[in-house]
Chains A and B, each alone.
Chain A
Amino acid sequence: MIGAIQYGLGQLWRYKKVWAILYVVTLLMAVLVAYPFKSYLEKTLGNSMMISDMLKGFDYTLYIDFVNNYGDLFGTFMNQSFWVILLFLILFIFFNGGMVRLFLDRTEAYDSRLFWSNCAAFFWKFFRNSIYFLIIHGIIFILFLMIYSYLCKGFSISELDSEGIIFAAPKYLAPIYILVSSFFFMWQDYTKISLVRNHYKWVYQGMFDSIRFIRRNLISAWGLYLLNMLLLALIFTINYFITTAFEIQSFQTVVLSFLFAQLFTIARLGMKMVNLSSAAYWYTSKTDSDESTAEY
């Protein structure tokens, strides 16, 4: 498993152009909404001396007065953010096809034609795959919410003996949920890999193939996925310590915080690629060895 992750990290570096594309797309789409927001702030607050309070961080008085007096467009920005996120999801589905092909073919270097053509080729299959798994993730999430609600007696104040269960239950349920849902996220990734590798016409064929693969290699495949999640958690922890380590008090520190935030964004995107490439590596190495065993 460690080898697979090492391999994934190698692939990440090899296909750093894809990494860069992902980052640039992410940044540009965020700027698409954030820049008008900045212009709006400049127009409404630009000359107020309260801006210095903004530098210190969240200022409640400024927030209240802003929302009360200039908050009409606030909802518009939130609305825009929602649509941008949705657009990003569709773009990400698009990029998945190209990424999986690169990771499976293991070309010496980034092959632009191969990447973009496979992005287009697998878009609709991956789109359907995403819809199916969104339903599955939704069901799992609702199931856990129902268990939580059951444990908390429907959050009824008059029925609960103590509110302790409301706080205690997530401590047990959340890790179980992460474990269970990670299985389905892993299944989703292996379905993408299977669809590209086996050129299946129908998404369900990929889903069946990948679940067969997972059944044969449950511990190693799931273990690898969890290991990747652990690495992501490590990145989050480092980011937490960095962001709380210094206070933003000047323009320079604002720039520094921006750079750290971008590093974090790049690292998160990188981890997504590492996760997919290590899974692709695991899938090919295991299925290849199975096939060769079968031949003998």
Chain B
Amino acid sequence: MKVGLISQLSDQKLVGHLVTKTYFSGMNQRAVFPYILILLLGCISLYGQRFEEPLSARTDNYDIQLFLDTDKKQVKANQTVTFRNPSADTIRTMPFHMYYNAFKNNRSNFNTGYSGIPRDIPQEEKENGIWGWVEVLSVKNEQGEPLESRYIQPDDDNVNDHTVLEVVLEKPIPPFGTKTLEMEWHSQVPKAKARTGYNKDYFFMVQWYPKLGVYEPAGSRFAEVGAWNCHQYHPSTEYFGEFGVYQVEVDVPKEYVTGGSGFVLNETTEGDRKKVTYLAEDVIDFAWTAHPGFLEIKDEWKGVEIKLLVRPEHECNKERFLLSAKHTLDFFEEYIEPYPYPTLTIVSPPFYGLFSGAMEYPTLITSPTLCDLPLGIKTTETLTIHELTHQYFMQMIATNEQEEPWMDEGFTSFFEAKILDQYYPEGVVYFDYFDVQIDATEFRRGRFMATENPKASALSDWGYQTISRSTRDIVYGKAAVGLMTLEGLVGDAMMKDIIRAYFKRWKFKHPCRHDFLDVVQEVTTSQLGDSLAAPINTFLQDFMYSTEVCDYSVHSIDNFEEPEALGFFENTSDVRLPSANYQGIKKSKVVVWRNGEFIVPQEIRVTFEDGEEIIEYWDGKARIYEIFYEGKSNVVCAEMDPFQKIPFDNNHINNSQNLKQEKSGITRYFVSFLTWLENAMITASTLV
């Protein structure tokens, strides 16, 4: 178990002045009453058929009956949406995400973003295949009266973007009141678009229905007044949903194997069609899939039914899916709390369904694999673990992925690496022949460090507004590496306390970054005290709001004897001259530098010629920091962050200096390069 850098400081004197700051203590000001009320309302929910007590407030509830036309690739559906006003506000409109309209034309925000329509798509396909849309045919209130609706653009003035539909209510929803809408809609399923759509006989149905936005009462997240949070569909980010219960009846040809969020409530066959009814409770979304080529493999983990939908050619990898899923569930049972849902569906898409990617939806994840994936490449395991981890960070802790994508992807990537390193110590990439062995933590760090522009955006930047090739690496990698560094600073045990406290407080709710910072501050302050918690909070502030890099280095090691005092001292008549038997005091100086703007407390291990080792602590603030020793044997080497607690440092090579060059490693690389070149020359000579 790693002991935190900062927690070790409780016995040490910090070099430099540490300032204690309290950030974002607004948590206490937020209204908690509505949540309690909603929770109570949820307890008497009509929908609860599996959980004895609702896990969430169940604000948005859906009852959908749909018909999938597999020839025309169209869906016809009726849906009933019941919304419970979670606030003391009076609500006059209800906005719905119409995600499929992102594929309606080439002027939508999605298609004008970097994932636009490729130019080489044939005209015939443009006319018949690639466009997708969803259209609401009617919206009625409880009395059956039609309601007006219109497309709105909350994020910009792009009138060609029809991804948000606003329903205007004839009667406002009173504080803590309920509203039920009856909607009839139909849609054209897009061909193989981002995560969703169809290809051949494979349907992956996500972001497929008119989905109500999230109403944020004043004081929750960044809301100063109560308002809907319903962004347009942007290409760079994912989604945000409200907790509720979904009952979805899927009508498909009977040869299709289906999978969906939640569990199967009922299944009937009539002629050449079948109807499968799913019930998903306390979830923020509903996803489903249909494909005649799926094999259904069932397994179980402590009462949770695990269903793997996989093609026959991928069945060879079933143990890789199932084992990694069970490892993840085991991990979180111990680290946070057991997986609460009765089912987990893993969809391994066919090769021609790779557009559905590796993606997370409530109780349903996709995890692609390949027939001949070598055991030394843990892609199947990595994707399964990553997407399953999202059940905790995205589904149960339902952060806003459009605004703060790092809050689900960063936490998930952090845990993905932890789980992989715990259960697959051989590494995520390993080849004996080339002596390649890369563990998950260093792989995740490497992907961030190798990104094109690590300063492209800060984690606090709104996700949907940042479009850069490096954004993904920042959202996943920087966030994960930052959390790894936080763990290095506070230690494994305190990190677990922080995550547990964060989860306990915010599960089945919608926290934002301030809420996480509050928890870290509370836990660190209570366990370490104000002064030691302060550098942790400084680090978190930099980590979240800054784009600067972290780089510390050992600049020099100097061993010398103090020179004899020569010249005039007391007066100008008695000069001190060199004495024959002068023996100076042995001194050593280690100089370390802070090269980046990022400030992180540091440990420095100094090793002396006689084998003695001293660990020095430094607050990491000064640009140059010198450590002096007197009367000791010579310093032979100095190493910053010797226990690798700060993966955020972007150059580990300059973290240490050794006065005695150990050249074996370089000789090895020299030999390898030389041999490679010799072989390349001989191989090439076959041509002549």
Binding site for B on A (CB under 8 A): 26-27, 29-31, 33-35, 37-38, 41-42, 44-58, 60-70, 81, 84-85, 88-89, 92-93, 96, 126, 130, 133-134, 137, 157-164, 167, 185, 240, 243-244, 248, 250-251, 254, 257-258, 261-262, 264-265, 268-269, 272
The 13 sampled A-B contact pairs (Cβ below 8 Å) are A26-B678, A42-B661, A50-B655, A61-B652, A64-B445, A81-B680, A85-B684, A89-B681, A157-B351, A161-B200, A161-B352, A251-B664, A258-B674
Q: Given A34-B674, A50-B656, A248-B668, verify A268-B435 contact (CB < 8 Å).
A: no
Question: Is A48 a contact partner of B654 (Cβ separation < 8 A)?
Answer: yes
Residue B33 at the chain A interface, CB threshold 8 Å: no
Q: Please name all residues of chain A whose beta carbon is closer than 8 Å to the beta carbon of B435 when the two chains form the complex.
A: 56-58, 248
Nearest Cβ in chain A — how far from B139, in angstroms? 36
Add 17 more A-B contacts to A42-B663, A85-B681 (CB < 8 A).
Answer: A26-B678, A33-B677, A38-B673, A45-B653, A54-B665, A54-B666, A56-B435, A57-B434, A57-B436, A58-B436, A65-B650, A92-B685, A157-B352, A158-B352, A160-B352, A162-B371, A265-B675
Q: Please name all residues of chain B whose beta carbon is closer than 8 Å to the beta carbon of A35 when the two chains form the complex.
A: 670
Residue B682 at the chain A interface, CB threshold 8 Å: yes
Question: Is A61 a contact partner of B688 (Cβ separation < 8 A)?
Answer: no
CA distance A71 to B432 in the complex (A): 26
Question: Is A30 a contact partner of B678 (Cβ separation < 8 A)?
Answer: yes
Query: How many positions in chain B have a CB within 8 Å of any CB in the partner chain?
Result: 63
Against A, the Cβ 8 Å flags (1 = close, 0 = not) of B308-341 are 0001010000000000000000000000000000
Question: Is A60 a contact partner of B682 (Cβ separation < 8 A)?
Answer: no
Residue B158 at the chain A interface, CB threshold 8 Å: no
Question: For A58, A130, A167, which residue has the most chain B Cβ atoms within 10 angstroms?
Answer: A58
CA distance A264 to B676 in the complex (A): 11
Question: For A29, A49, A57, A62, which residue has the most chain B Cβ atoms within 10 angstroms?
Answer: A49
Residue B487 at the chain A interface, CB threshold 8 Å: no
Of A158, A164, A254, which contacts B668 at CB under 8 A? Answer: A254
Q: Which residue of B is nearest A163, CB measured?
A: B351
Question: Is A29 a contact partner of B352 (Cβ separation < 8 A)?
Answer: no
Question: Is B658 a contact partner of A47 (Cβ separation < 8 A)?
Answer: yes
Q: Please name all residues of chain B whose beta carbon is closer than 8 Å to the beta carbon of A265 when the two chains form the complex.
A: 675, 678-679, 682
Question: Is A42 a contact partner of B688 (Cβ separation < 8 A)?
Answer: no
Q: Given A54-B666, A272-B682, verify A164-B677 contact (CB < 8 Å).
A: no
Question: Is A41 a contact partner of B661 (Cβ separation < 8 A)?
Answer: no
CA distance A52 to B642 in the complex (A): 14
Question: Is A84 a contact partner of B677 (Cβ separation < 8 A)?
Answer: yes
CA distance A84 to B664 in the complex (A): 26
Kindly list the 9 A-B residue pairs having the minimum CB-CB distance in the complex, ordered from nearest: A57-B435, A54-B665, A49-B656, A51-B665, A38-B670, A34-B674, A261-B675, A130-B688, A64-B446
Question: Is B684 a contact partner of A88 (Cβ separation < 8 A)?
Answer: yes
Q: Please name all residues of chain A whose beta carbon is closer than 8 Å to the beta carbon of B659 when the two chains form the complex.
A: 47
Question: Is A47 a contact partner of B661 (Cβ separation < 8 A)?
Answer: yes
Q: Please name all residues of chain B whose beta carbon is closer than 8 Å to the beta carbon of A248 when the two chains form the complex.
A: 435, 668
Question: For A30, A250, A269, which residue has the most chain B Cβ atoms within 10 angstroms?
Answer: A30
Q: Given A49-B656, A52-B665, A85-B684, verify A162-B679 contact (CB < 8 Å).
A: no
Q: Which residue of A is nearest B607, CB measured?
A: A49
CA distance A145 to B549 in the complex (A): 45
CA distance A92 to B146 in the complex (A): 85
Q: Which residue of A is nearest B430, CB measured?
A: A58
Against A, the Cβ 8 Å flags (1 = close, 0 = not) of B414-452 are 000000000000000000111111100011011001100
Of B370, B436, B446, B679, which contacts A268 at CB under 8 A? Answer: B679
Question: Is A159 a contact partner of B352 (Cβ separation < 8 A)?
Answer: yes
Query: Which residues of B320-372 have CB atoms within 8 Å of chain A's CB atoms?
Result: 350-352, 354-355, 370-372
Of B351, B434, B664, which contacts A58 at CB under 8 A? Answer: B434
CA distance A250 to B652 in the complex (A): 22
Residue B667 at the chain A interface, CB threshold 8 Å: yes
Number of cross-chain contacts by CB at 8 Å: 212
Against A, the Cβ 8 Å flags (1 = close, 0 = not) of B75-116 are 000000000000000000000000000000000000000000
Question: Is A96 a contact partner of B449 (Cβ separation < 8 A)?
Answer: no
CA distance A74 to B452 in the complex (A): 17
Contact residues of A: prevailing secondary structure: helix
Of B351, B666, B687, B688, which contacts A38 at CB under 8 A? Answer: B666
Question: Is B673 a contact partner of A69 (Cβ separation < 8 A)?
Answer: no
Question: Is A68 a contact partner of B665 (Cβ separation < 8 A)?
Answer: no
Question: Is B449 a contact partner of A68 (Cβ separation < 8 A)?
Answer: yes
Nearest Cβ in chain A — how far from B213, in angstroms? 33
Question: Is B688 a contact partner of A93 (Cβ separation < 8 A)?
Answer: yes
Q: Which residue of B is nearest A131, CB measured?
A: B688
Nearest Cβ in chain B — how far from A23, in angstroms? 9
Residue B639 at the chain A interface, CB threshold 8 Å: yes
Q: Please name all residues of chain B whose beta carbon is closer than 8 Å to the beta carbon of A61 when the two chains form the complex.
A: 442, 445-446, 652
Nearest Cβ in chain B — how far from A34, in angstroms? 4
Residue B12 at the chain A interface, CB threshold 8 Å: no
Of A92, A93, A161, A269, which contacts B351 at CB under 8 A? Answer: A161
CA distance A89 to B686 in the complex (A): 9
Q: Which residue of A is nearest B647, CB measured?
A: A61
Q: Which residue of A is nearest B369, CB measured?
A: A163
CA distance A54 to B672 in the complex (A): 11
Q: Please name all residues of chain B whose beta carbon is closer than 8 Å to the beta carbon of A46 when the two chains form the complex.
A: 661, 663, 666
CA distance A167 to B668 in the complex (A): 34
Question: Is A55 a contact partner of B668 (Cβ separation < 8 A)?
Answer: yes
CA distance A188 to B433 in the complex (A): 33
Q: Which residue of A is nearest B660, CB measured?
A: A47
Q: Which residue of A is nearest B667, CB measured?
A: A254
Q: Which residue of B is nearest A69, CB measured?
A: B651
Q: Which residue of A is nearest B354, CB measured?
A: A157
Q: Please name all residues of chain B whose beta carbon is closer than 8 Å to the beta carbon of A272 when the two chains form the complex.
A: 682, 685-686
Q: Please name all residues of chain A whose beta carbon is closer than 8 Å to the beta carbon of B673 when the two chains form the complex.
A: 33-34, 37-38
Q: Please name all residues of chain B whose beta carbon is closer than 8 Å to the beta carbon of A243 when the two chains form the complex.
A: 433
CA distance A169 to B639 in the complex (A): 51
CA distance A150 to B433 in the complex (A): 32
Q: Please name all residues of chain B whose beta carbon is closer than 8 Å to the beta carbon of A62 when the two chains form the complex.
A: 652-653
Residue B134 at the chain A interface, CB threshold 8 Å: no
CA distance A262 to B678 in the complex (A): 9
CA distance A27 to B685 in the complex (A): 14
Q: Please name all residues of chain B whose beta carbon is closer than 8 Å to the beta carbon of A41 when the two chains form the complex.
A: 666, 669-670
Question: Is B433 a contact partner of A244 (Cβ separation < 8 A)?
Answer: yes
Residue B382 at the chain A interface, CB threshold 8 Å: no
Question: For A47, A158, A159, which residue has the most chain B Cβ atoms within 10 angstroms?
Answer: A47
Question: Is B313 a contact partner of A50 (Cβ separation < 8 A)?
Answer: no
Question: Is A162 a contact partner of B652 (Cβ separation < 8 A)?
Answer: no
Question: Is B450 a contact partner of A250 (Cβ separation < 8 A)?
Answer: no
Q: Given A26-B678, A49-B639, A84-B681, verify A261-B671 contact (CB < 8 Å).
A: yes
Residue B258 at the chain A interface, CB threshold 8 Å: no
Question: For B372, B433, B678, which residue has the most chain A Cβ atoms within 10 angstroms?
Answer: B678
Residue B272 at the chain A interface, CB threshold 8 Å: no
Residue B524 at the chain A interface, CB threshold 8 Å: no
Of A52, A93, A167, which contacts B662 at CB under 8 A? Answer: A52
CA distance A67 to B669 in the complex (A): 15
CA distance A261 to B654 in the complex (A): 32
Of A26, A52, A258, which contacts B682 at CB under 8 A? Answer: A26
Of B437, B651, B665, B670, which contacts A55 at CB under 8 A? Answer: B665
Question: Is A88 a contact partner of B685 (Cβ separation < 8 A)?
Answer: yes
Q: Please name all residues of chain A whose beta carbon is closer than 8 Å to the beta carbon of B653 when the two chains form the complex.
A: 44-45, 48, 50, 62, 65-66, 69-70
Q: Please name all residues of chain B whose beta carbon is closer than 8 Å to the beta carbon of A164 when the two chains form the complex.
A: 313, 371-372
Question: Is B658 a contact partner of A48 (Cβ separation < 8 A)?
Answer: yes
Question: Is B666 a contact partner of A45 (Cβ separation < 8 A)?
Answer: yes
Nearest Cβ in chain B — how far from A161, in angstroms? 7
Residue B523 at the chain A interface, CB threshold 8 Å: no
Question: Is A251 a contact partner of B684 (Cβ separation < 8 A)?
Answer: no
Question: For B352, B654, B659, B665, which residue has the most chain A Cβ atoms within 10 angstroms?
Answer: B665
Against A, the Cβ 8 Å flags (1 = close, 0 = not) of B166-199 are 0000000000000000000000000010000001
Q: Please name all residues of chain A whose beta carbon is closer than 8 Å to the beta carbon of B434 when the two chains form the complex.
A: 57-58
Nearest Cβ in chain A — how far from B676, in angstroms? 9
Residue B252 at the chain A interface, CB threshold 8 Å: no
Q: Please name all residues of chain A whose beta carbon is closer than 8 Å to the beta carbon of B656 when the two chains form the complex.
A: 47-50
